[in-house]
């Protein structure tokens, strides 16, 4: 019996999955920009899943704290889910501080098309914005192990994309990410 060939009905299905890994300080703009990118990609027919750091800590990483070991475990769990999605053609987007370089690189090692996006908003700017009031509380000593204040942030030395958000709108930063994906045939 002659085998039929299924017609390709959606060009987007041919594009490979990838993982857009946003990293940066609290309040840098990771979630805001990631959400705009996610909406844009969905609008172009891509399957998108956004793993937001705050949300993940309520289920996948419930019970983990903010020690280095717990932060690394949190990043590994997010990374594992993101990599499974990416290898199945999904654009997985993560928005977690993910402060430690080594564990980010570990995730890079197992993830298809890992795109590290450093939201490089300065500590000063994040503190000025302080949308959630967390920096004020951290400075008052109410939040121990707060990244940038009493815990380290290791910036990526060579991320695929660096976003300088000062003087730019979140939409402009999201457009930079989309343009990078187009230039690298991931979109």
Gap between the Cα atoms of 150 and 146, Å rounded: 5
Gap between the Cα atoms of 150 and 138, Å rounded: 8
- Whichever of 15 and 34 has its CB closer to ligand ADP, that residue is 34
Strands in the chain per DSSP E: 18-23, 48-52, 91-95, 114-119, 161-163
Is 92 annotated in the active site?
no
Q: Which of 37, 50, 95, 149 touches ligand ADP (CB under 6 A)?
A: 95
Strands in 53-113 per DSSP E: 91-95
Using CB under 6 A as the binding criterion, the count of chain residues that bind ligand ADP stands at: 18
Looking at 26, 61, 83, 98, which residue is catalytic? 98
Gap between the Cα atoms of 90 and 92, Å rounded: 6
Q: Which of 17, 24, 38, 79 touches ligand ADP (CB under 6 A)?
A: 24
Closest to 25 (Cα-Cα) out of 141, 107, 118, 139: 118
| Window contacting ligand ADP (CB under 6 A); options: 22-30, 56-64, 75-83, 109-117 | 22-30
- Strand partners for 49: 92
- Residue 117: phi, psi to the nearest 5? -120, 105
Closest to 153 (Cα-Cα) out of 141, 138, 168: 138
Q: Which 31-50 positions form the footprint of ligand ADP (CB under 6 A)?
A: 31-33
| Window contacting ligand ADP (CB under 6 A); options: 23-31, 82-90, 140-148, 154-162 | 23-31
| Residue 94 is a binding residue for ligand ADP (CB under 6 A) | no
Cβ of residue 50: shortest distance to ligand ADP, in angstroms?
11
Q: Which of 44, 76, 77, 168 touches ligand ADP (CB under 6 A)?
A: 168
- Whichever of 87 and 129 has its CB closer to ligand ADP, that residue is 129
| Residue 137 is a binding residue for ligand ADP (CB under 6 A) | no
Sheet with 114-119, edge to edge strand ranges: 48-52, 91-95, 18-23, 114-119, 161-163
Cβ of residue 104: shortest distance to ligand ADP, in angstroms?
15
Binding site for ligand ADP (CB under 6 A): 24, 26-33, 95, 119, 129, 131, 165, 168-170, 173
Catalytic residues: 98
């Amino acid at each position: 019996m002659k085998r039929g060939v299924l017609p390709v009905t959606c060009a987007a299905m041919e594009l490979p999955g990838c993982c857009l890994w946003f990293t940066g300080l609290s309040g840098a703009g990771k979630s805001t920009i990631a959400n705009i990118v996610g909406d844009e990609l969905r609008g172009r027919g891509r399957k998108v899943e956004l793993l937001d750091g705050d949300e993940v800590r309520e289920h996948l990483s419930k019970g983990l704290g903010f020690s280095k070991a717990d932060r690394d475990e949190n990043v590994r769990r997010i990374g594992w889910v993101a990599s499974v999605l990416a290898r199945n053609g999904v654009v997985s987007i993560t928005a977690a501080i993910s402060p430690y370089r080594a564990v980010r690189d570990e995730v890079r090692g197992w993830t298809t098309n890992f795109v590290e996006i450093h939201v490089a908003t300065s500590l000063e700017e994040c503190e000025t914005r302080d949308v959630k009031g967390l920096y004020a509380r951290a400075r008052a000593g109410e939040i121990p192990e707060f990244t940038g204040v009493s815990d380290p942030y290791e910036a990526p030395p060579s991320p695929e994309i660096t976003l300088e958000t000062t003087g730019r709108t979140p939409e402009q930063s999201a457009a930079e990410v989309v343009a990078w994906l187009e230039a690298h045939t991931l979109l």
